[in-house]
Structure 1
Amino acid sequence: MNLRTPLHGLPRLALVATLAGLAACRTVGPDYAVPEGSAFNRPAANSAFIDTGNAQVAASAELPARWWSLYQDPVLDGLVEHALRDNLELKAADAHLRRAAAMYEQALDAGGFDYEAEAGVSRAQLSAESFLLEHELPPINLADGKFAVSYQFDLFGKLKRGAEAAHADEQSVAAARDIARISVVAEVADNYLEICHANHELHVATHSLQLQQRGREVTQRLIAAGRGTAPELARANAQVAMLEAALPPLQAKRQAAAYSLAALLGQTPGQLPAGVGDCSHAPALQQPLPIGDGRALLARRPDVRQAERRLAAATARIGVATAELYPDIRLGASVGAAGLLADFGEPLTQQWSFGPLISWTLPSSGTRSRIRATEAGADAALAEFDQTVLQALRETQTALDRYAQDLRRLQSLQVAQQQATLAAEQNRRLYQGGRTPYLSSLDADRSLATADATLADAQAQVSRDQIHLFLALGGGWDAPAAAAAAAVPAAAR
């Protein structure tokens, strides 16, 4: 239903009453706030993490903005900066964010003043019969022009809610970009440390192989001298073959990490900065890992921020759908002229209009169904938000516990490796002094090789645990942005 009424035809009293009524209109739909019953607001979710008895973490300290700087490794710092600049996934995420920002600007520009200008000149043959004439009319030159301005009143908040939804969508995309950046940084650090540990494990395995090869040579000389036996040589050969078989998997692991790191840097396989592939000592944390508490975690995790912004957008869209129950009202004015080209601009061709335009599609069951659909969407977004909160807490607590257990394992393996080294040295001296058979020395060397390899693998696992814990903690590299985004849900408490 469209109704257009000239403004000068309205009594002044009616006009005043109309404007007063319009001023009393309100923004429909719920105002957004994180529900009090949300998992985000639970005291347990904002408290300290469950104590794992790990002395290598500091619960009272906050994760620094550049968490990888805790390793104090210039090569790692350079790799992270390179990835943040050239990673293709991050470039795509930046493009998605620019698109979301443009859509938000478009939503802000909706409503308000609209301007329109038209002009045209034509030569036409008019239908004589349409004027009830019996003779053909001559061709004529026509001209028309118009300039119009209108203002759309957002009386029921449809445009406002649409802008709120677009803004929340933009912030959700920004959080998705943060997820991508944190993931890329963690993968860069993980692959770099994997290269370092693989090189170290290769060194340990090669050294153990060399020791075993020397032992086999001794066995061969003993057999030649009539003091050794064939079973001893077969056993030495078997140990050499086992150690040789351990090398290819380590080499493959190192190459896979190198290829993955090159891709993260936006490079083809094999293109790595000088010195990265030769790293043989993985950087280690020189201080306890700062973890903070649940409140800081939820404010820092970008996936929590993303889910919360999706909830805000879904809530705003309830208002957009509800506003469909009400009319759209514009106030417009236009001035122009239309007629013969020769008379264009003369009083006989001038035209103008000024007045309100009310457009209202009478609500139907479909409109109310759309409202119920948006309400269901908001309920789903709330459930997903709560699930994200609980998942963030679970992932972090699990990573903390795994880190603590692997550190305990590493400490035990360090003791075992020290004792294995001592036993191998003592057995070697006893064998050289003729006090024990070579088989005892061979067993001790084999135990040392196993202890060395197990210890190297445990050290690599602890490094992986640290990276996974940094990732679970939300990275923390962009603390100011996380704090600003956290202000929205915090204000609703």
Structure 2
Amino acid sequence: MRVLPLVPPLLLIPMLGGCMMGPNFHGAPPPPASMSKTFVRADQAAMPVPPQLTPWWRTLNDPLLDQLITRALSSNPSIEVAEARVRQARSQMRGARAALAPVVGAGAGAGNIQAPGLVTGGEAKSSSLFLAGFDALWEIDLFGGARRNIEATRAQFGAAQADADDTRLTLTAEIARQYIALRASRQRLEIARYLLTNQQKIADLTAQLEGAGKVSRIEREQTDRGVEARRQTVAALEAEVNDHKDAIAVLAGEAPGALDTMLDGPGTVPLPPVEVAVGDPAAMLARRPDIRAAAQRLHAANAGIGVAEAARMPRVSLAGVVGLGGALKGDITSADNLWSVAGPTIQWNLADFGRGRAGVDQAVAGRDEAAAGYRATVLAALQDAEGSLNRFGEARKMFAMQARNGLSAVHSNDLVQQSWRVGRSSALVALAAENEQLAAEDLLVQARMALTTQFVALQKALAMGVN
């Protein structure tokens, strides 16, 4: 028996699915009209030329830092989490695309039919039934709800990719920051140990002078307290060194202490290049992964309006079944027992008491929230970039100033040491002058660390090396 051919109704699908509910996405809102064409806080060393979009950390010319960042990018758990989210979003996008295709299944069954006498017009009868066949269900995307969902999932996939880029950018900056702090702490620790040695010499000399009655006990106790203060500084810096080594190891995907051998080598804080290309604000906004993610989320929220509006409209589906069957087991193997059923179905919630309208209103509010979030992200990015430029420029000035102070301290110490060697100055004066030079060196290391740290923050703010 043949009830209805299955193929002809399916040929109607291309003619039915053409409408798209909801607003089309025309791109994220433009940046604020008050945005300058160049960075306001850039100094003369920050060149408004397009930067080279290569890994920014290589400009520091530190092979160990390059190795650590490469290791972290391949082993850090945060990167693995971000990449897993990208895979999830890709799978969701594939699933949304599959919604446009029919669902095809296969099945077989056997049963006994008991027909009462009222139906048969006589005595009750029973009959066996054996069936095997295929079924298909195809919901026609008549109002574009499925296509809008594909659009939304595609945008969510783009947002996940941008979030992964942002995670990589943040990781590289944090590795560099910890590495710079480690180098600075180690240099400062060496200086602190020299200062402790000198302070102990000063305390010993003062004790001798107290014994000779040339200084008071109060002065001797002051020098003793100075020794204790130096010991505390050394202990604090030793703890800092270990903290930074552990932080770097964890960022690289290793247990604390696992990279101590690699990190215990000598080295100084790397310096940034003399001139830094920063480009312009518009190009920076286009590069920043957080802004790209916000734009994609706005796109997804906009598509969600179409999904909600389509959900209020009628749902049209085509269902079909084709198979073999009969009252005997052998009927499911005979082509003479082929049967098929196919036809459209329509479902429409004529009275949902406002549920559909509420869904649309919620989607519109979600789109408005995403638009406001995008604008907030843009303003925060501009503030981040301008603030980083400002701090980098000030750090450059402070480093130059401290370098001059350091040279002055070296010159003064040389004069005092010469005077001490010819007997014109005391050993206490010579030690004090050497301590002043060491203190100036310590301040210079801190200024150098601040300069390079602000360079790293600037590269992160400008989103360098993530594309």
TM-score by structure 1 length? 0.84
- Give the aligned partner of residue 71 of structure 1: 60
Residue 384 (structure 2) aligned to one of 392, 395, 412: 395
Show CA shifts across 1:462-489 (max 9, x none).
2221222222122x2232xxxxxxxxxx
- Give the aligned partner of residue 158 of structure 2: 171
- Give the aligned partner of residue 301 of structure 2: 314
1:34 aligns with 2:17: no
- Give SS of 2:424's match: coil
Deviation at 1:153, TM superposition (A): 2.6
Q: Which amino acid aligns with 2:79?
A: L
- Give the aligned partner of residue 447 of structure 1: 436
- Give SS of 2:184's match: helix
Deviation at 1:85, TM superposition (A): 1.0
Shift of the 273–253 alpha-carbon distance from structure 1 to 2, 3 Å rule, reads: closer
Show CA shifts across 1:182-231 (max 9, x none).
11111111111211111111111112222333344444555667766655
427-436 or 391-400: which moved more? Answer: 427-436
Q: Which amino acid aligns with 2:24?
A: D
Shift of the 129–198 alpha-carbon distance from structure 1 to 2, 3 Å rule, reads: farther
Show CA shifts across 1:347-392 (max 9, x none).
9965322333323222631101110110000000000000001001
- Give the aligned partner of residue 169 of structure 2: 182
Show CA shifts across 1:90-145 (max 9, x none).
112111111110110000111233323222134x372646646886656x542012
Residue 93 (structure 2) aligned to one of 104, 123, 139: 104
Q: In structure 2, what is the Cα distance between the partners aligned to 1:361 and 1:398?
A: 55
Shift of the 348–66 alpha-carbon distance from structure 1 to 2, 3 Å rule, reads: closer
Report if aligned partners of 1:29, 1:320 keep a CA contact under 8 Å in 2.
yes
Deviation at 1:78, TM superposition (A): 1.0
361-370 or 309-318: which moved more? Answer: 361-370
1:296 aligns with 2:283: yes
Residue 343 (structure 2) aligned to one of 335, 355, 359: 355
Q: In structure 1, what is the Cα distance between the partners aligned to 2:355 and 2:346?
A: 21
**How many residue pairs get matched?**
462
- Structure 2 counterparts to residues 49-88 of structure 1, below 5 A: 49-55=39-45, 57-88=46-77
Q: In structure 2, what is the Cα distance between the partners aligned to 1:222 and 1:147?
A: 106
403-412 or 297-306: which moved more? Answer: 403-412
Deviation at 1:46, TM superposition (A): 6.6
Shift of the 413–309 alpha-carbon distance from structure 1 to 2, 3 Å rule, reads: same
Q: In structure 1, what is the Cα distance between the partners aligned to 2:394 and 2:176?
A: 22
Shift of the 363–107 alpha-carbon distance from structure 1 to 2, 3 Å rule, reads: farther
Q: In structure 2, what is the Cα distance between the partners aligned to 1:19 and 1:175?
A: 37
Report if aligned partners of 2:23, 2:305 keep a CA contact under 8 Å in 1.
yes
Q: Which amino acid aligns with 1:415?
A: R
Report if aligned partners of 1:195, 1:277 keep a CA contact under 8 Å in 2.
no
- Give the aligned partner of residue 313 of structure 2: 326
Structure 1, unaligned stretches of length 5 or more?
480-493
Percent of residue pairs identical: 26
Deviation at 1:319, TM superposition (A): 0.3
Q: In structure 2, what is the Cα distance between the partners aligned to 1:437 and 1:343?
A: 118
Q: In structure 2, what is the Cα distance between the partners aligned to 1:372 and 1:169?
A: 21
Q: Which amino acid aligns with 1:354?
A: A
Report if aligned partners of 2:272, 2:452 keep a CA contact under 8 Å in 1.
no
- Give the aligned partner of residue 257 of structure 1: 244
1:199 aligns with 2:189: no
Report if aligned partners of 1:119, 1:145 keep a CA contact under 8 Å in 2.
yes
1:407 aligns with 2:400: no
Report if aligned partners of 1:63, 1:292 keep a CA contact under 8 Å in 2.
no
Deviation at 1:434, TM superposition (A): 4.1
Residue 456 (structure 1) aligned to one of 445, 454, 459: 445
TM-score by structure 2 length? 0.89
1:420 aligns with 2:409: yes
Q: In structure 1, what is the Cα distance between the partners aligned to 2:13 and 2:419?
A: 106
Q: Which amino acid aligns with 1:157?
A: G
Q: In structure 2, what is the Cα distance between the partners aligned to 1:180 and 1:449?
A: 40
Report if aligned partners of 1:112, 1:153 keep a CA contact under 8 Å in 2.
no
Q: In structure 1, what is the Cα distance between the partners aligned to 2:288 and 2:357?
A: 36
Shift of the 32–207 alpha-carbon distance from structure 1 to 2, 3 Å rule, reads: same
Q: Which amino acid aligns with 2:26?
A: A
- Give the aligned partner of residue 478 of structure 1: 466
1:374 aligns with 2:363: yes
Q: In structure 2, what is the Cα distance between the partners aligned to 1:109 and 1:444?
A: 78
1:240 aligns with 2:227: yes
